[in-house]
Structure formats: structure tokens, C-alpha cells
Amino acid sequence: MQEFLANGYAATSMDRVAATAGVSKATVYSHFQDKASLFAALVQELAEEKFRTVFDPRDHNALKGEPRQVLSELAEKVLDDAAQDSQFCEFMRLIVGESGRFPELAAPYVQNVAKPLLDALARYLASCPELQLADPEATARVFIGTLIYFVLLQRVLGGKDSLPMESDRIVTTLIDLIVPA
Amino acid sequence: MQEFLANGYAATSMDRVAATAGVSKATVYSHFQDKASLFAALVQELAEEKFRTVFDPRDHNALKGEPRQVLSELAEKVLDDAAQDSQFCEFMRLIVGESGRFPELAAPYVQNVAKPLLDALARYLASCPELQLADPEATARVFIGTLIYFVLLQRVLGGKDSLPMESDRIVTTLIDLIVPA
DNA sequence: GTCTATACATCGATAGAC
DNA sequence: GTCTATCGATGTATAGAC
């Protein structure tokens, strides 16, 4: 996986995969039918790992409580995840970059990672009477979309230097828009 | 460019580039030093084209007027652009997917396309006294980020079917959040 | 300037020994 | 199960004729 994350699908050779794994190429081919199958298996495994992270049992009760607090913690969690875990950006590059040629890999990611997160947030937003939201589902997309775009621009596309912006301003602005004063 | 957009950098062969261009491979190499140089030249040209689209002279006065109207039109324009122009998704896949190995290509895109758009919107938002925005720059990021994420999820990653959402709901929600009732 | 032909490396995948 | 050795195809890039 580390080879695919670093080089993308096409630029990753099975020689390097085997070398990095510490086995011979024939051994790799005894476990996986071909390069595409290996890639699919690795990506799906990583996607399931991300899925378990999003649905961390410890955070099962995270989306309960006072809106400003809950939304602030969720935003920090997503941004910290993206900032610390360098895999996050590489995985984003891979899944977006290969989504045209491997739509069967992008689909489970949307279904198992993006959808559960959006659904959980939408349910929480809908459960807060004080928010008075006309469309919680769309509001959840505004929230997550703003955060993902921030990570995309600052870290994935390297806008950190040329287009500086503190993440705190994004979070504060987002919460002030959603939670009435 | 059509080959790079369809296959990505690594999976595009210079044979196919030459064939699609209707010339021989040697001719291509007489105009460009190597594959990477050709790719860089093509992407920068396309980025400049997108730049001119964003800064369409006809729309020079677009960001003036009543907020609900202006923001609604801007959102529709971005979403329509992404929906009709199939190049939009392919270009997004390419620029994101190759941003790790070609950071020198992502940087001009951020500088010449994303930044002007965000700046223009932030200036407009700041110029509207009735909006009373504490942080127009961050608010511009919320607006554009929500739209780009929508396109990313629905079209680039193919969530159109598995995660349906009408664009109108996004636009309406976004505007209701930013523009006071 | 553009072509054909080719050099040289590396690719994915497999055969056969152990 | 894992290895070494290798196949045929394809990759980038260039040489030399026109």
C-alpha cells in the first residue's frame, strides 16, 4: 500500500511492491491474481480502516450535547486527522486520482466513509431543536464540505504557503453560521 | 491533453500522445524535452484557460448587487460548469491525483484559479454591509468549499446514485446560512 | 521539421526448481 | 509456498534518412 500511496497505481511496479514487501514477485502473484486485484484489495482494506476510525466505538456518544461544543470537536477531529495523518492526503490523492479508472473503489469509499459521517452529522443536526435547520442533510454537507475543501486546498494541493488561512477561522465561521447567536 | 486527462500521467504513453496528435513520436520530442515537460506545459495551458474562464470579462460586474441573487448565480455557475464540462472532473482528478508528484503544477492552479475566485468572493462579501460577516475570507471558503465538495462527491467520486442530493438544496441551504432572513 | 526504425530499460506475469 | 530466471510486450527517448 505504501508504494501505491506514494506513486499512484500506474507508476507503481510489481517489482517495487514485492521488494518493499520483502518477498519475490512470484509470491505476490500467488496471493493475488494481478496488479489490479492487489490494488483493489489494498484500497478496500484501507477504506475499511478509515471506516472504523470514523465509527470509533469510543466516540459513539460524541455527537451528543451542546451544538457549539459538538461541532467544534468534530471539526478539530477531522482537521487534526488530516494534519497529522500524512496518509490522509495521500489516500485522497489516490482515491480521487484513480476514481476515473477504478470507480468500483471510489464507490465503497463514498458508501462506507463519507455517507456514514454525513448521515450521523445530519441526524445530530436534526436532533437539535435550538438549531431550527430547514435542511439538516444539506447543512451536514456544508459542514463536512468546508472542512474537506480546506484540507484539499491547504495540504493536498499545497496552498498552505501561497494561500494561508488558519483552521480556527474556518471552524469559528462555520459554527457561527450554523448555530444561532 | 485529452490522453493525460483520460489516463493520468503515468498511464499515458508518448505513443498514444503522438498518435492522437496525428504526428510521430519524434515530432513530439522535437517540441518538448521529455514527457514531464510536455505534461507540465499542457496542464499550465489548461490552468490558464480555466483562469480566463473564472475571470471572464463579461462577468466583471457579476459580483455586484443583491446578495441572494449574486450568490445564487455564482453557485449555479460553478455547479453548471462542473456538470456540463466533463473536463472539470477529469481535470480535478488529474490535478489532485498528481499533486504529490507534480507539486509545481498544483501551486499555479491554486494561485491562478482558486485564489482569484476566493478573493473576489471575499471582497464581495465584505462589501455587503447587510451581511454583517465577521470573517468574509473564511465565509468565502465555506461557500466555495461546499460547492466543490458537492461536485467531488457526486460527480468525481460517483456518489450521484449512492448518495443522492439535489444541488438546489445545497445552494438554498448555503445562502440561507450566509444571508440573514 | 517530420518521418521510420530502433536502442535500451522496465513492465506485468509465468515456468519450473526447491 | 517461495524462490530464481525469464518471456513477450510496452515504455521513453533517440539516431539518421528525407
Using CA atoms of B106, B81, B19, A99 in order, give the dihedral in degrees to the nearest 10.
60
User: Is residue A155 over pLDDT 80?
Assistant: yes
Instruction: Supply the pLDDT for residue B85.
Output: 75
User: Is residue B94 over pLDDT 70?
Assistant: yes
Model confidence at A54, pLDDT cuts 50, 70, 90, reads: confident
User: Is residue A84 over pLDDT 90?
Assistant: no
Q: Which domains does chain B have, with CATH numbers?
A: 39-178 (1.10.357)
Nearest to B144 by CA among B77, B93, B91, B85: B77
Answer yes or no: do A149 and B153 touch at CB < 8 A: no
Q: How many angstroms is C1' of D9 away from CA of B13? A: 14
Amino acid at site B8: G
For A40-60, b where at least 16 C-beta lie within 10 A, e where not — what string? bebbeebbeebbeebeeeeee
- Interface membership of A44 toward B (CB under 8 Å): no
Residues of chain A with C-beta less than 8 angstroms from the C-beta of B152: 96, 148
Asked if A149 contacts B145 with a C-beta cutoff of 8 angstroms, the reply is yes
Query: Cα separation of A51 and A61, whole Å?
Result: 17
Instruction: Supply the pLDDT for residue B138.
Output: 98
Element (H, E) at A124: helix A115-126
Does the predicted TM-score (pTM) go above 0.75? Answer: yes
- Cell for B114? 482558486
Q: What is the mean pLDDT of residues A18-40?
A: 95
- Interface membership of B162 toward A (CB under 8 Å): yes
Instruction: Supply the pLDDT for residue A82.
Output: 82
Amino acid at site A149: Y
Alpha helices by DSSP H, B8-162:
14-21, 25-31, 35-54, 67-84, 86-97, 103-109, 115-126, 136-151, 159-162
User: Is residue A177 over pLDDT 80?
Assistant: yes
Q: Which nucleotide's C1' is closest to B27 (Cα)?
A: C2
Q: Helices (H), strands (E): how many in chain A? A: 11, 0
- Cell for A80? 487534526
Instruction: Supply the pLDDT for residue A14.
Output: 97
% of chain B exceeding 90 in pLDDT: 81
Distances B24 to A39, A169, B11, B12, B38 between C-alpha atoms, Å: 34, 53, 19, 16, 15
Q: What is the pLDDT of residues B114-163, one digit of tens each?
A: 999 999 999 999 999 999 999 999 999 999 999 999 999 999 999 999 99
Q: Is B179 helix (H, G, I), strand (E, B) or coil?
A: coil
Residues of chain B with C-beta less than 8 angstroms from the C-beta of A89: 100
Distances B142 to A42, A112, B14, B157 between C-alpha atoms, Å: 33, 25, 41, 21
Q: Which nucleotide's C1' is closest to A27 (Cα)?
A: D2
Query: Cα separation of A163 and A176, whole Å?
Result: 23
Asked if A66 contacts A169 with a C-beta cutoff of 8 angstroms, the reply is no
- Interface membership of A114 toward B (CB under 8 Å): yes
User: Is residue A55 over pLDDT 90?
Assistant: no
Of B8, B97, B149, the CB nearest to A145: B149
Answer yes or no: do A101 and B8 touch at CB < 8 A: yes
Residues of chain A with C-beta less than 8 angstroms from the C-beta of B118: 163
Rg value, chain A, Cα? 19
Q: What is the mean pLDDT of residues B57-84?
A: 84
Instruction: Supply the pLDDT for residue B61.
Output: 58
Greater confidence (A81 vs B105) lies with B105
